[in-house]
Amino acid sequence: MASSWLPRFGIAAAVSAAIVTASAQLAGQPPAQVPAPATTPAPIPREPWPSPDEVLSTMGIVGYADRLSVQPGETVKFMVSSRSPRYQASIVRLIHGDPNPRGPGIKEEPVDTPANAEYPGKRQALPLGSYVRVPDARPLQLAGSFTITAWIAPTRHSAETRMPTPAVQGIIAKWSARDQSGYGLFLDEGRLAVWLGGPNDTVEKVTAASPLRPWVPSIPGTGRNPRPQGVSTTWYFVAATFDAASGAVTLRQEPVSDFTFDPTRAVVRRTTAVRGLSSNTAPLLMAASWADNSPSGVTGYYNGKIDNPRLYGRALADTEIEAIMKGTGPTDPIASWDFSRSIPTSKVIDASARHLDGEAVNLPTRAVTGHNWTGKEMDYRRALDEYGAIYFHDDDLEDARWEVGFEFRVPAALKSGVYAARLQTPTSEDYVPFFVRPRKGTAAAKIAFLIPTFSYLAYGGTGGGESTSPVAGANPPRLMSLYSHHTDGTGFTYSSHLRPITNMRPKLVTRNPWQFMADTHLLDWLDVKGFAVDIITDHDLHAEGAALLEPYKAVLTGTHPEYTSPEMHDALRVWLGKGGRLMYMGGNGFYWVTIPDPTGRYVEVRRRDGTEAWQGAPGESHHSLTGEPGGLWRFRGHPPQELVAVGFTAQGFDRNSPFRRTEGSFDPRASFIFEGIGKDELIGDFPSLVLESGAAGSELDRVDYDLGSPPHTLILAKSFGHSDAYQQVVEEVNTSDSRQGGTVNPLVYANLAYLEYPNGGAVFATGSIAWSGSLSYDNYTNNVSRITENVLRRFVSDAPLVPALTVSQK
């Protein structure tokens, strides 16, 4: 989804987390009269949100898997946190995950495996917070004088969550809290401080009197627009020197400002009793400090940017420090870490001769502007010297690093499908989904269902309804999705699957099923209709390209394949051109440029110029993983219309609408699509599992020839009657006005569309996220189901499609 206010507060919150009542119509029964919901969206909830650990602590049991896509013969590891001392695990095949009593209900099948057993449970926490770790080395074990310098832009928390700003935040520290030994540069209650651990347990902490002015990186409000960091007074040059011979300490904080007067400028000079340092074996950390040797031994996480930190083995003179400020300085550092090197990796390079390289832990944001960014270049690859910063957050997370609870080896004979580990205690339940694909290079069916795993990660933790677990509680809020905001107000750039994703689950109770649970509507329909289907994922398609698709005559997308990579686009285009047939079964697809890391553990998205939950900062729209520009595919010259005939036009979440057939539906090329459908029959004018009624809703796509819809695209149907809760996408609105709602804006509608590719290829597009929510109505005997079945049966048949002989519609 692109987002207005909806994803910012979680899908369930946005749609009021309406619990479907037991009196609602069951599939196969005549529809009850459903009152239309109010067109005014629910009021925006007020934060603070609970922290991620607070959320998980309310859940009796929760887990995640070490992989999303798995082949027969491979092993999936499950990491589990349980409040109970024992829990039961069982493997199930998921068919329908929506508990809405209007539909067929929960459908799952047990899998007979030795992994079905009882296991010991334990609580496990999330090790939140990013930092750089440099392993202990003799040159870092200082016994005497030193100097630390860096440019920093500390941020403050926006009161958005309950997670407090740490009183002490590490900048560069080789400090052992257990031994009170070593040295470090810190922020202490916002003030620059240097800590010295001397012999005989002598400890001195020198702190500046004037706090640094925190940088507020986002403007408060629902839009979370960035505050450009090019403005003055967001960066500081900081330095600390210690002369072991005299015990003298100098602290310096210099605002990087165009103004000569700044009350936060300060130089502190003090003589201490320390005449040497006690060494320790702790690692040197940046953006944090070392607490002890336990797995959670890092503390004091820093929020903000750090640029070009250096360590010298002597007390530099004032003139030398001033030279560093001007971009030169002494050439004899113990270490000078250049964050502009190896940006696509977790490596942190020491440019000195000692090569005291480090590792960035928990995905701090790279490819961000540094203290000297001029604004002349937006691509970091063209001005690396201006991108020497890393942005750290105290709620970053790449890998929860939980202990393994149990493993499941996928049997060789297990058919491709959507599976889950069902975790149960006497009072709680959780499901951990995974996707079993065919062995690489093989296929068991003519049809593949392309699971939008990149989109699942993008929405991973946005909320999504109430769990049916009596312990899990209502409406789990955001857990580090790409729609979330860090504690300082900036948006999350990376999203990893190595953590619990509480909304990639069945059994969420909501009137607007989203992503995974909505996709089970289609999965169930395929099962009921008897179609043999292989499951493949975005991760698989990105890695293997068109070769993955070659065995299949038809591929179906999920309901919301919003996040796609360049490799996915290329693969689909090649496959379609060779005769592949694609059923685009949703809306707002192929929208955001998405880059996965080489291991597939996480994805990166840089937001700009779209319908979005937050905006990226100026100069930071290029992906750190590849350097290529981020944002919408349309601004990369590849709007969705170019690939699948339709593209995002509007969104709204009060109610859906039906489709009305258009002239294109009577073209002989489309006759197979409408077999058994009346000329004046409204399509999807009946109850739905998505927003209660109607097949056109939630997020809508339209044909637009000027945006790349091929000229022979057939417009088959058009939705109508959308309320003013539906608004046109912001990338097409150049100025604010009051005429963007569904009752007045002529572009607020969805299209059914059909498009032929060369060599017998074709695309059928539903133009609506809500389409699949209508499939099961009246025991799957309705016109949405009939059209979908007509298309799929023709797409997998050997019968040729009627070619587009003329271009007559535009």
Residue type, 422: R
**Where do the structural domains in the chain lie, given as residue ranges?**
7-32+432-796, 131-217+230-392
Q: CA-CA distance, 233 to 46, in Å (whole number)?
A: 30
Q: CA-CA distance, 452 to 592, in Å (whole number)?
A: 13
pLDDT at residue 566 is higher than 90:
yes
In order, the DSSP letters of 374-425 are: -SS-SSGGG-GGG--EEEE-TT--SB--PPEEEEEEPPTTPPSEEEEEEEE-
DSSP secondary-structure letter at 796? H
pLDDT band at 488 (very low <50, low <70, confident <90, very high): confident
pLDDT of 489: 82
At residue 646, φ and ψ (nearest 5 deg) are: -125, 160
pLDDT of 766: 99
Q: CA-CA distance, 602 to 588, in Å (whole number)?
A: 21
pLDDT at residue 92 is higher than 60:
yes
Q: CA-CA distance, 534 to 532, in Å (whole number)?
A: 7
Tally the residues of the chain: 810
pLDDT tens column, 333-386: 999 999 999 999 999 999 999 999 999 999 999 999 999 999 999 999 999 999
pLDDT of 742: 83
Return the half-sphere exposure (C-beta side, CA atoms, 13 A cut-off) of residue 783.
21
- The tokens for 311 are 């360590």
Give the three-class secondary structure for 373. coil
Give the least confident one: 166-180, 210-224, 503-517, 712-726: 210-224
pLDDT of 675: 98
pLDDT of 490: 87
pLDDT of 471: 28
pLDDT at residue 83 is higher than 70:
yes
pLDDT of 416: 98
pLDDT at residue 463 is higher than 60:
no
Q: Do 271 and 246 touch, CB atoms closer than 8 A?
A: yes
pLDDT of 39: 40
3-state class percentages of the chain: helix first, strand second, coil last, to nearest 5: 15, 30, 55
500 Cβ contact partners less than 8 Å away, ≥ 6 residues apart: 56, 62, 63, 64, 81, 400, 479
Residue type, 376: K
Give the three-class secondary structure for 117. strand
Q: Do 621 and 608 touch, CB atoms closer than 8 A?
A: yes
pLDDT of 42: 40
pLDDT at residue 193 is higher than 60:
yes
Residue type, 28: G
pLDDT of 201: 85
Q: Do 750 and 660 touch, CB atoms closer than 8 A?
A: no
pLDDT tens column, 8-24: 223 333 323 332 322 23
Return the half-sphere exposure (C-beta side, CA atoms, 13 A cut-off) of residue 429.
13
Give the least confident one: 184-193, 216-225, 533-542, 548-557: 216-225
Of the two residues 214 and 72, the one the predictor is more confident about is 72
Average pLDDT over residues 642-669: 97
* Choices 2.60.120.200, 3.40.50.720, 1.10.760.10, 3.40.190.10: CATH for 131-217+230-392: 2.60.120.200
pLDDT band at 292 (very low <50, low <70, confident <90, very high): confident
In order, the DSSP letters of 124-152 are: -------EEEE---GGG---S-EEEEEEE
pLDDT band at 478 (very low <50, low <70, confident <90, very high): low
pLDDT at residue 657 is higher than 90:
yes
Could you tell me which of 369, 361, 344, 340 has the C-alpha nearest to residue 217? 369
Name 207's bridge partners: 193
Average pLDDT over residues 634-650: 97
Give the least confident one: 49-63, 406-420, 669-683: 49-63
Could you tell me which of 73, 13, 76 has the C-alpha nearest to residue 46? 13
pLDDT of 518: 97
